[in-house]
Amino acid sequence: MKRLLVVTLIAGYSTLALADVKVGVIVGATGPGASLGIPYKNTFGILPKTLGGEKVEYIVLDDGTDPTNAVTNAKKLVLEDKVDLIIGSTSVPTALAVVDVANETKTPQISISPLPGSNGKSPWAFSVPQSMAIMMKANLDHMKLNGVKTVAFIGFADALGDQIFNGFAPQAEAAGIKIVVAERYARTDTSVVGQVLKVLAAKPDAVLLGGSGTPGALPHITLIERGYKGPIYQNHAVVNKDFLRVGGKSVEGAIVPTGPVIVADQLPDSNPTKKVSLQYIKAYEGMFGPGSSNAFSAYSYDAYLLADRAVAIALKKSKPGTPEFREAIRDALESTKELVGTHGVYSMTRTDHTGVDSRAVVLVRIENAGWKLIK
């Protein structure tokens, strides 16, 4: 037993001596966010063995989509594993929970889920996904173009539903579009007939849906079943293959804002993200099979790209495993300029830790069980 302990200690020191870059990854691969968490996690299996030119070790922990677990995982990663950077977590509440730990321990965090609210404005936290406002603006522009005056909303009765609604409502109001009904449902609900009937009774020009993954298909299917004929706008959280499988014919014709990576092969060559996206798709589908690439794992890939650049710069200033190195990563992330990723082109500043613009959104229409770019 004693000998074993000595051996482990030596092993521990020897890894320290090598000073690999250590990245802690927190994902919600189980629990209610599992459908997004699993692809988010998969990306870390296809990444190169180096980060910023230095050998890298990814320590991937599952938080079960539970903020308490996310905090425990983050503390473990920082205090025990001495990571230089945290990537994660994959849902809004868990990612926000990690922000506190990142702040406290002065560890840079790249969140692969949006970080809404004031808590997300921490100097140590960065986030990859497009803000809800940018995504909803694309929907709104399309509505304005097509003369939509009234909109009904059906979304999740949770943080995501609120976020989508709050990303849409203020802009819609400013544009003179009225939200006539706002209804909620739970991810595990077996029926949304009540909500849909209320929407139909209000006779809106268009319906905006705020669910994610396959549960996002339920109100969509019910609307069509109950004879709704108007346009349906979705949000980017439904963009996966399973949504199309479960939604089937009902979701045909829906309009969805998403990152350009989803329709990379349909983009003109002039689009800067096309090349990076095709690289990512090749690597991901090489590992997980044709058609497996998706928006969520692409966010993880963009987090890797951001980290790759920042670590390369930080390595010139300091050594992995030190507080100076962590600070150098943070500063380097803040200086990101026109970094091309799969979802957009990232330019961070001291005050902007999201750093994407309208180049990070495309509108697609669901046609023949696939995503078709709306030109």
Partner 1 sequence: MDLQITLLLGQDGITNGAIYALLSLALVLVFTVTRVIFIPQGEFVAYGALTLASFQAGKTPGTLWLLAGAGILVALIDLKIALAAGARQRIARILLWNLGYPAAITVLIFLGKPEGWPLAAQVLLSLALVVPLGPMVYRLAFQPAAEASVLVLLIISVAVHLALVGLGLLFFGAEGSRTPSFSDAALQLGSITVSGQTLWVLGSSLLLIAALYQFFGRTIYGKALRATAINRTGARLMGISTVMAGKLSFLLAAAIGAFSGILIAPITTIYYDTGFLIGLKGFVAAIIGGLASYPVAAAGALLVGLLEAYSSFWASAFKEVIVFTLIIPVLLWRSLTTHHVEEEE
Q: Is 362 in the site for partner 1 (CB under 8 A)?
A: no
Tokens of 350: 């001291």
Total residues at interface with partner 1 (CB under 8 A) = 32
Among 75, 82, 184, 359, binds partner 1 (CB under 8 A): 184
Q: Is 34 in the site for partner 1 (CB under 8 A)?
A: yes
Binding mask 126-165 for partner 1 (x = CB under 8 A): -------------------------------x--------
Give whole-number Cα distances, 164 to 134, 137, 167, 299, in Å.
Answer: 11, 11, 5, 19
Q: Which is nearer to partner 1, 136 or 244 (CB)?
A: 244
Q: What is the DSSP letter of 64?
A: T
Among 108, 215, 320, 341, binds partner 1 (CB under 8 A): 215
Residues between 104 and 123 with contacts to partner 1, criterion CB under 8 A: none
Q: Is 192 in the site for partner 1 (CB under 8 A)?
A: yes
Provide the b/e sequence for 94-122 (b: ≥16 CB within 10 Å).
bbbbbbbbbeebebbbbbbbbbbeeebeb
Q: Is 63 in the site for partner 1 (CB under 8 A)?
A: no
Q: Which stretch binds partner 1 (CB under 8 A): 46-54, 171-179, 237-245, 330-338?
A: 237-245
Q: Is 209 left (phi over 0), alpha (psi -120 to 50) or beta?
A: beta
- Give long-range contacts, CB 8 A cutoff, 24+ apart: 76-82: 77/24, 77/26, 78/24, 78/105, 78/107, 79/105, 81/22, 81/24, 82/22, 82/321
To partner 1, the closest distance from the beta carbon of 231 in angstroms equals 22
Q: Is 183 in the site for partner 1 (CB under 8 A)?
A: yes
Q: Which is nearer to partner 1, 73 or 195 (CB)?
A: 195
What is the Cα–Cα distance from 24 to 351, expressed in whole angstroms? 25
What is the Cα–Cα distance from 218 to 318, expressed in whole angstroms? 52
> Which of 333, 355, 332, 330 lies closest to 345, judged by CA?
355
Q: Is 185 in the site for partner 1 (CB under 8 A)?
A: yes
Q: Is 302 in the site for partner 1 (CB under 8 A)?
A: no
Among 9, 16, 175, 186, binds partner 1 (CB under 8 A): 186
Q: Is 213 in the site for partner 1 (CB under 8 A)?
A: yes
Q: Is 19 in the site for partner 1 (CB under 8 A)?
A: no
* Preceding peptide of 127 cis, ω within 30°: no
Among 218, 223, 256, 348, binds partner 1 (CB under 8 A): 218
To partner 1, the closest distance from the beta carbon of 280 in angstroms equals 22
Neighbours of 32 (CB within 10 A): 17
Using an 8 Å Cβ cutoff, are 23 and 307 in contact?
yes
Give me the residues that bind partner 1 (CB under 8 A), please. Answer: 30, 32, 34-35, 37-38, 157, 183-186, 188-195, 197-198, 201, 213-215, 217-218, 240, 242, 245-246, 248
